[in-house]
Amino acid sequence: MLILYDELYGKFEIDGVLLELIQSDPVQRLKGIYQGGASRFVNENWNTTRYDHSVGAMMLVNRLGGSLEE
């Protein structure tokens, strides 16, 4: 089990297939890609990565009652 913390959604426990997905190389690679591209050099507060966005979207779907397939 992995426990993640998000600024918007708080603590989130992940296990099973979602844990395997998050730990996979393609998803881990998203940690080095910034959501806003080069804009992070303009404002250091714009530093959200594609990984952060993807995990946040997963947390939101779960919080709204979405299924594992969603």
Question: pLDDT (tens digit, 9 = 90+) per residue, 17-62?
Answer: 999 999 999 999 999 998 888 887 888 777 889 999 999 999 999 8
Residue 31 has a pLDDT of 94
Based on C-alpha coordinates, what's the Rg of the chain? 13
DSSP reduced 3-state for 19:
helix
Burial class of residue 56, CB neighbours in 10 A (0-12, 13-18, 19+):
middle
